[in-house]
Amino acid sequence: MKPKRRLLAGVLPVRKDRILSETIAGLTLAAVAIPEVMGYTKIAGTPVITGLYTMLLPMALFALFGSSRHLVVGADSATAAILATSLAGLAAAGSANYVALAGLIALLVGLLLVVASVARLGFMADFLSRTVLVGFLSGVGIQVAMNSLPGMLGIKIAQASGLAKLSLLLPLLPSVSLPAAAISLSALLLILGFRGLSRSFPGAIVALGLITLVSWIFDFKSAIDVVGSVPGGLPQLALPNVDWSFALIWQLGPVALAMLVVILAQSAATARAYATKYNETLNDGMDLRALGFANLGAGLTGTFVVNGSPTKSRIVESAGGRTQLSMLISVGIVILVLLFFTHILAYLPEAALSALVFLIGIDLIDLKGLQEIHRTRRAEFWVSAVTILVVVVAGVGPGILLAIVLSLIVHTRHGYHPVNVLLTPETAETWQVQPLKTRVMAAPGLMVYRFTHAMYYANAGLMAAEIKDLVTPAAEGLRYFCIDFSCVDDIDFTALKTLKKIQAELAGDGIELLFAHTLDDPAARSRLQLVKTFGESIVFSTVGEVLSHIRTRKPPPLATSAS
């Protein structure tokens, strides 16, 4: 049963005994996420302040309109990396035009998500397989980590990503800034040290706070790059200041579609996991629409695309948060930071922020997941490995396209070559499956062949080949060939044409084609398709009915030779 379509479905009811826990979770999220979203701006190529904006209106809109009580929406490394790759040749990173284009992409993604919710396209999330997603995000992690190295070493190089940036970096290693490298190393040690003490401790904000304090006391800005002046106050609602044209929207459309797929997969998987864990109902349509509103809010407040975050959701849960109230409390804290504390960020060294980004990238590399895939499904591991390689070598854009294609191939492969079987009676009402190679009869003159997948153009040829192989050696004794449809919920045009051809070929050998064990629902699509194509006289509800049928009627003439 779906939850009511109402405002604050992810918040209400608010229990008095939960308010303290939700408040602590909201404070924890703000403490962990504020430095993290600032790091995401380094990935996305936008000003630091835009990271804070992702935790403002976008997070609030999802909390207000979403059905998930646990999904945290905000900046995300995968979509930030796609953004940086797609805008690299269109505008200078960090420029006003770059930020405006990032806002336009957020608007496009928001509109696509709203359309997806209306069209009930939430099922698309199921088409990006876990195998490919692990490979894609691991590849993104490697890209992010490599892209952060110049900033950690205080080296300025031309805009590039991944291996291209690494190739530009290597000749410049002799010009490493020792102060920047020392600050990066200090940031890494502090963050990892605090993380070692407790995963729930906001080590990143404490580490960056200490380094910022030292930078202010000793005036580091005279020796290394710092974040510099950060505008205070709340963002203004406005459309991105771009040269609006169909050509521009058409150019950015593929980027928005790629982000849509990542958001669908990552957000839906996270929301469903927590709904299952806490036995809560979830409305995918509401969540898609709320994600759309969140991205529209991002585009109108001068920031970039937002996504459902598995890591932030886990942080809130571990801190005791169980509703979107925690997220609304985090929004309130971000408002206070924007109004009163942005001037502190001016002394934050860029090298320290790059070190945080480096750790974000490393955290994305899912070695445990890859090991599990390798151990469980060796072929799918190589799919993950190829995805990683393409993301690292060719970039995030081609990587996500490959991820989509590989996911569809993996999906199609499962239905392209199903393992079909023969049936023999075990008792009066139960049937036993047998391998096709046995060519066993279910009764004198009757063979029952079970097809174990929906029938469509990709596997219709396999069905025809298997039936031909079964019939040829047995043609002298075979009078009836029954196809069991208990696992078939749909038959496409090509498969129906193939079945008609099989019927004609069998009839030429004196063998009658029958259909049995269609889905119990009389209105089931597969049954209606068979009745419409072949008539009701040869379509039976069970194999038992087929047996009764052949015992009470005159059989077709025996085949005289194998076809």
**pLDDT tens-place string over residues 451-498:** 998 898 889 999 999 999 999 865 578 999 999 988 888 899 999 999
**Residues 246 and 332 reside in one and the same domain:** yes
Note whether 169 and 281 are same-domain residues: yes
In a domain, 562, yes or no: no
Residue 10 counted as domain residue: no
Enumerate the β-bridge partners of residue 431: 425
Q: What is the pLDDT of residue 141?
A: 87
Whole-number pLDDT of residue 555: 56
Domain co-membership, 271 together with 191: yes
The pTM for the full model equals 0.77
CA distances from 117 to 185, 288, 407 (A): 45, 5, 22
Taking residue 206's Cβ as centre, other Cβ atoms within 10 Å add up to: 15
Q: Is 520 exposed, middle or buried (0-12, 13-18, 19+ CB in 10 A)?
A: exposed
Q: At what angle do helices 350-364 and 77-87 cross, to 10 degrees?
A: 110
- Same-domain check for residues 352 and 458: no
What count of other Cβ atoms lies within 10 Å of the Cβ of residue 238? Answer: 12
The residue behind tokens 């259909």 is 515
Please state whether the peptide bond connecting residue 240 to the residue before it is cis, i.e. omega within 30 degrees of 0.
no
Looking at 171-175, 199-203, 204-208, which range is the least confident one?
199-203
Tokens of 263: 């958001």
402 and 425 inside one domain:
no
Q: Work out the angle between the directed axes of helices 246-277 and 310-318 (0-180°, nearest 10).
A: 30
Residue 284 lies in a domain: yes
Same domain? For 113 and 193 the reply is yes
- Asked whether residue 8 is domain-assigned, the answer is no
387 with 449, same domain: the answer is no
Mean pLDDT lowest for which of 32-41, 57-66, 70-79, 261-270? 261-270
Amino acid 300: pLDDT: 97
Query: Whole-angstrom Cα distance, residue 331 to residue 337?
Result: 10
Q: Has residue 198 got a pLDDT over 90?
A: no
Q: Does residue 164 form part of some domain?
A: yes
How far is Cα 337 from Cα 231, in angstroms, rounded to an integer?
11
Co-location of 381 and 480 in the same domain:
no
Mean pLDDT along residues 227-235: 91
Confidence grade of residue 518 (pLDDT, cut at 50, 70, 90): low
In a domain? residue 69: yes
313 and 457 part of one domain: no
Please determine, for residue 147, whether its predicted confidence score (pLDDT) is greater than 90.
Answer: no
- Among candidate residues 352, 386, 413, the one where a domain is terminated: 413
Last residue of a domain, one of 359, 378, 413: 413
State the residue range of the domain holding 241: 16-413
Report pLDDT digits (tens) over 343-367: 988 999 999 999 999 998 898 899 9
Instruction: Copy the structure tokens of residue 239.
Output: 């459309």
Regarding whether 507 and 375 lie in a shared domain, the answer is no
Q: How far apart are CA 2 and CA 332, in angstroms?
A: 30
Q: Hey, which bits of 471-562 come out as E strands?
A: 480-484, 512-516
CATH number at residue 436: 3.30.750.24
Domain identity same for 119 and 250: yes
Mean pLDDT in residue range 529-545? 88
**Do residues 27 and 202 make contact, with C-beta atoms less than 8 angstroms apart?**
no
Domain's final residue, options 413, 432, 467: 413
* Rounded mean pLDDT, 406-414: 72
Same domain flag for 514 and 383: no
Establish if 1 belongs to a structural domain. Answer: no
Number of domains the chain is built from: 2
Contacts of 169 (CB under 8 A, 6+ apart): 149, 150, 153, 155, 157
pLDDT at 522: 54
Residue 5 lies inside a defined structural domain of this protein:
no
Checking 364-368 for CB contacts under 8 A at 24+ apart, the result is: 364/77, 364/78, 364/137, 364/138, 364/140, 364/141, 364/144, 365/138, 365/141, 365/142, 365/145, 366/134, 366/137, 366/138, 366/141, 367/138
